[in-house]
């Protein structure tokens, strides 16, 4: 028998958590879990690794801040040094606020961009979401032999079980 | 979120026990129904006021800022007051959405969406003033460093006014992105609820969100990162705004206390504005069980704290004026409290220091009517604070021969009133077309209300 995708819909948060844990224990492949809100504890239940977005954020902050600081050095001390109130051309303390703002801006925008790319989300993307998963139901999608998956999902308390293409 | 251990003694965050789909209904229904007569009235009034503001701005751009009441001595007055006022209002939104998120204050969930929207609209109102003050708003891009045909002549990165350009534009961008990211799952919920054109629009805007937990997990990380970035950002914005004054040598401005003093004042006024808006919104949209007395009381407590910091700052300023031994400094503060603008000082003092003290009484901070009135009083006080700091410090400076008085013109007052038109027009459009309460986040805390009730039921059975 070939493996197919089977989805079971649950009505309670606790059920989806237990079902996900049990599925992995039983050696069934969890394709994904669809929930109307971020259910905590599901990361562990699915065995997801922590996101690497934090690294994108850090690098973008360093790049943005460093880039802006260099621009300020270049414009104030190299390209056209102007004597403003007798202050030194390389007036590093005065460059800190803008460096900080640039770091934050770059970090925020790059993290969001990386999130979209990694999650393959983009404006106008067409999706047909599973019934009611953005409203009030939790769906567990398994890749397994249909009979086994159906039995498993029903035993876990799924209200609806369906095979999906 | 809902997995966390919560003491059964805590007050539930949403008062009515609701199923998940009821939560969706409650929040989506106001978007589907035809707007009420009250909404139309409010919208038309706001739009008319916006029209007045638009006329005023058009006139002063065409004529020049000579239409203002400024003179050689008082070169900054109404516009900068309004700018600082509006930026300050915005700060509460970021505080609620980012700082309270980092502190795991779950009561924020019902109010954060509207508060963030308020931030965006307040920053838009604020941005109008420096734009007009530039005199030639069509050259506003000169404020950004770009290679140009004038040399290249670069901007002066040592100027706090330029720091302000970066701070405000970063603040607006990051707040807008943060707000949008928070909206995405909710827009998907609405997409799956509606049909027709709206389904298409929300489908486009929700970026193909399908509730996948793999994406949710990443989303939570992103949200945490943005909250972590927005927190120092919001503190930096008003710090930089205060440096517009603090880095000058004008007595009354040249003070190291300014950054924390301004940030506290910003949060103080911002929470007052959130309260004003939320009290109206919860009644008009029938969201009383999401935005509860508990929320209002918590915000009032923040007002007590920040109001206390503001009061302490006023006292510290006076102490330093005496303790520093600088005659200029001493004169500036005596002039503030007893000079020709003493009336504005005492309005500020009574609204900001005395009135929030009333919130120490539980009866008052849990009363909707009292909170509504006091929230407006606090905002009046905070507007006067900026007026006092700016105008009283400038109008009598070092040289008595150049002392002068400042009086705003009709144009300046009209522009300020017009920004309220802009603010409320945008807010009313927001409550009409987007979910005012974060659907996803409320669902996550909803189970907490249910568990509490279950706990009670258990006790009853045992008894």
Q: Is residue A124, in this structure, part of any structural domain at all?
A: no
> In degrees rounded to 5, what are phi and psi of residue B327?
-65, -30
Task: Establish if B336 touches chain A: CB-CB under 8 angstroms.
Answer: no
- Pair A148, A19: CB distance under 8 Å: no
Q: Is residue A19, in this structure, part of any structural domain at all?
A: yes
Kindly give the pairing relationship between strand A4-10 and strand A138-144. Answer: antiparallel
Q: Kindly state the helix (H) or strand (E) to which residue B83 belongs, with its residue range.
A: helix B78-94
Rounded to whole angstroms, the Cα distance separating B254 from A106 reads 32
| Mutation choice for B interface testing from A101, A112, A137, A164 by most B CBs within 10 A | A101
Determine the pLDDT at residue A155.
Answer: 79
Task: Establish if B435 touches chain A: CB-CB under 8 angstroms.
Answer: no
What ipTM was predicted for this assembly? 0.90
Structural domain span for residue A65? 53-118
Q: Is residue A123, in this structure, part of any structural domain at all?
A: no
Q: Is residue A153, in this structure, part of any structural domain at all?
A: yes
Residue B10: Cβ within 10 Å count: 12
- Please compute, for residue B99, the number of CA atoms within 13 A of its CA located in the half-sphere on the CB side: 14
CATH of the domain at A137: 3.30.70.120
Question: How close B269 comes to chain A (CA, Å)?
Answer: 24
String of DSSP letters for B326-379? -HHHHHHHHHHHHSTTHHHHHHHHIIIIIGGGGGGSHHHHT-HHHHHHHHHHHH
Question: How close A32 comes to chain B (CA, Å)?
Answer: 6
Do residue A57 and residue A114 come from a single domain? yes
Query: Which of B357, B411, B407 has the alpha carbon at shortest distance from B381?
Result: B357
Do residue A137 and residue A160 come from a single domain? yes
Within chain A, what is the greatest distance between any pair of CA atoms?
Answer: 82
Q: Residue B158: its chain A contacts at CB < 8 A?
A: 76, 84-85, 87, 91, 94-95
Nearest CA in chain A to B219: A115
B217–A48: do the CB atoms touch at under 8 Å? yes
Query: Which of A150, A154, A155, A151 has the alpha carbon at shortest distance from A163?
Result: A150
Kindly give the pairing relationship between strand A29-34 and strand A138-144. Answer: antiparallel
Backbone φ/ψ region at B267: left (φ over 0), alpha (ψ -120 to 50), beta: alpha
Q: Cis check for the bond before B152: say yes or no (omega within 30 of 0).
A: yes
The helix-helix angle for B20-32 and B160-193 (nearest 10°) equals 110
Nearest CA in chain B to A39: B1
Query: Which of B128, B140, B202 has the alpha carbon at shortest distance from B172?
Result: B128
Return the structure tokens found at B457: 């039921």
Do residue A64 and residue A25 come from a single domain? no
Task: State pTM to two decimals.
Answer: 0.89
Question: How close B170 comes to chain A (CA, Å)?
Answer: 6
Query: How large is the average pLDDT for residues A139-154?
Result: 80
Q: Is residue A83, in this structure, part of any structural domain at all?
A: yes
Nearest CA in chain B to A44: B217
Rounded to whole angstroms, the Cα distance separating B332 from B329 reads 5
Percent of chain B with pLDDT over 90: 43
Nearest CA in chain A to B147: A75
Do residue A114 and residue A68 come from a single domain? yes
Across the interface, which of A50, A104, A134 has its CB nearest the CB of B211?
Answer: A134
Q: Is residue A157, in this structure, part of any structural domain at all?
A: yes
Do residue A153 and residue A106 come from a single domain? no
Rounded to whole angstroms, the Cα distance separating A35 from B1 reads 13
pLDDT tens-digit profile, chain B (463 residues): 444 555 555 656 666 667 777 777 777 777 777 888 888 888 999 999 999 999 999 999 999 888 998 888 898 988 999 999 999 998 888 888 888 888 877 777 778 888 889 999 999 999 999 999 988 889 989 888 988 888 888 998 999 999 999 999 999 999 999 999 988 988 888 888 887 888 888 888 888 888 888 888 889 899 989 999 998 999 999 999 999 999 988 888 988 899 999 999 998 999 899 899 888 888 877 778 778 888 889 889 999 999 999 999 999 999 999 998 999 999 999 999 998 999 999 999 999 999 999 999 999 888 889 999 999 999 999 999 999 999 999 999 888 899 999 999 999 999 999 999 999 999 999 988 888 888 878 777 766 545 444 444 444 444 3
Determine the pLDDT at residue B7.
Answer: 57
Do residue A107 and residue A139 come from a single domain? no
Q: Is residue A10, in this structure, part of any structural domain at all?
A: yes
Q: How many domains does chain A have?
A: 2
Q: Residue A134: its chain B contacts at CB < 8 A?
A: 185, 188-189, 191-192, 209-211
Tell me the per-residue pLDDT of A38-57, one tens digit each, with 9 for 90 and over.
Answer: 888 888 878 888 888 899 99
Return the structure tokens found at B2: 């809902």
Rounded to whole angstroms, the Cα distance separating B91 from B259 reads 14
B213–A84: do the CB atoms touch at under 8 Å? no
Cα–Cα separations (whole angstroms), residue B363 to B343, B358, B367, B375: 31, 9, 6, 15
């Amino acid at each position: 028998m070939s493996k197919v995708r089977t989805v079971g819909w649950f009505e309670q948060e606790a059920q989806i958590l237990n079902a996900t844990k049990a599925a992995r224990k039983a050696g069934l492949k969890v394709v994904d879990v669809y929930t109307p809100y971020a259910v905590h504890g599901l990361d562990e239940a699915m065995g997801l690794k922590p996101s690497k977005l934090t690294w994108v954020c850090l690098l973008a902050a360093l790049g943005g801040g460093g880039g802006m600081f260099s621009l300020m050095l270049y414009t104030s001390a190299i390209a056209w040094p102007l004597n403003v109130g007798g202050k030194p051309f390389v007036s590093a303390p005065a460059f800190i606020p803008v460096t900080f703002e640039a770091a934050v801006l770059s970090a925020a925008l790059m993290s969001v961009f990386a999130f979209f790319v990694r999650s393959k989300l983009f404006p106008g993307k067409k999706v047909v979401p599973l019934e009611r998963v953005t409203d009030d139901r939790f769906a567990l999608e398994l890749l397994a032999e249909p009979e086994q998956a159906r039995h498993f999902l029903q035993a876990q308390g799924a209200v609806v079980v369906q095979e999906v293409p | 979120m809902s997995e966390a251990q919560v003491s059964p003694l805590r007050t539930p965050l949403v008062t009515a026990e609701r199923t998940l789909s009821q939560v969706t209904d409650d929040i989506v229904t106001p978007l589907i129904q035809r707007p009420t007569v009250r909404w139309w009235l409010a919208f038309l009034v706001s739009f008319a006021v916006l029209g007045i503001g638009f006329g005023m701005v058009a006139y002063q751009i065409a004529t020049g800022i000579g239409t203002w009441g400024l003179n050689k001595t008082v070169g900054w007055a109404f516009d900068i007051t309004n700018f600082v006022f509006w930026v300050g209002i915005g700060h509460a939104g970021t505080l609620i959405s980012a700082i309270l998120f980092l502190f795991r204050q779950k009561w924020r969930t019902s109010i954060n969406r509207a508060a963030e929207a308020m931030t965006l609209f307040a920053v838009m109102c604020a941005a109008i003033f420096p734009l007009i003050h530039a005199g030639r708003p069509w050259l506003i891009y000169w404020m950004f460093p770009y290679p140009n045909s004038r040399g290249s002549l670069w901007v002066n990165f040592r100027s706090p006014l330029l720091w302000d350009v970066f701070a405000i534009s970063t603040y607006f961008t990051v707040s807008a992105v943060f707000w949008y990211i928070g909206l995405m799952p909710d827009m998907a919920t609405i997409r799956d609820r509606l049909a027709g054109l709206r389904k298409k629009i929300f489908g486009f805007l929700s970026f193909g969100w399908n509730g996948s937990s793999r994406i949710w997990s990443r989303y939570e990380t992103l949200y945490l990162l943005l909250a972590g970035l927005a927190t120092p950002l919001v503190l930096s914005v008003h710090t930089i705004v205060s440096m517009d004054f603090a880095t000058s040598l004008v007595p009354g401005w040249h003070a190291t206390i300014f950054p924390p003093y301004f940030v506290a004042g910003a949060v103080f006024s911002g929470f007052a504005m959130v309260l004003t808006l939320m009290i109206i919104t919860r009644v008009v949209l029938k969201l009383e069980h999401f935005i509860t007395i508990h929320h209002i009381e918590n915000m009032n407590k923040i007002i007590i704290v920040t109001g206390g910091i503001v009061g302490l700052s006023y006292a510290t300023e006076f102490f330093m004026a005496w303790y520093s031994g600088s005659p200029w400094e001493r004169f500036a503060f005596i002039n503030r409290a007893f000079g020709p603008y003493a009336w504005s000082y005492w309005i500020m003092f009574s609204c900001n220091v005395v009135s929030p003290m009333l919130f120490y009484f539980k009866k008052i901070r849990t009363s909707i009517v009292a909170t509504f009135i006091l929230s407006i009083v606090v905002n009046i006080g905070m507007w006067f604070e900026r007026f006092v700091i700016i105008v009283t410090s400038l109008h009598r400076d070092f040289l008595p021969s150049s002392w002068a008085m400042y009086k705003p013109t009709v144009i300046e007052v009209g522009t300020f009133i017009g920004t309220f038109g802009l603010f409320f027009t945008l807010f009313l459009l927001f409550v009409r077309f987007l979910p005012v309460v974060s659907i996803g986040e409320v669902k996550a805390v909803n189970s907490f209300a249910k568990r509490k009730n279950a706990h009670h039921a258990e006790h009853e059975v045992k008894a």
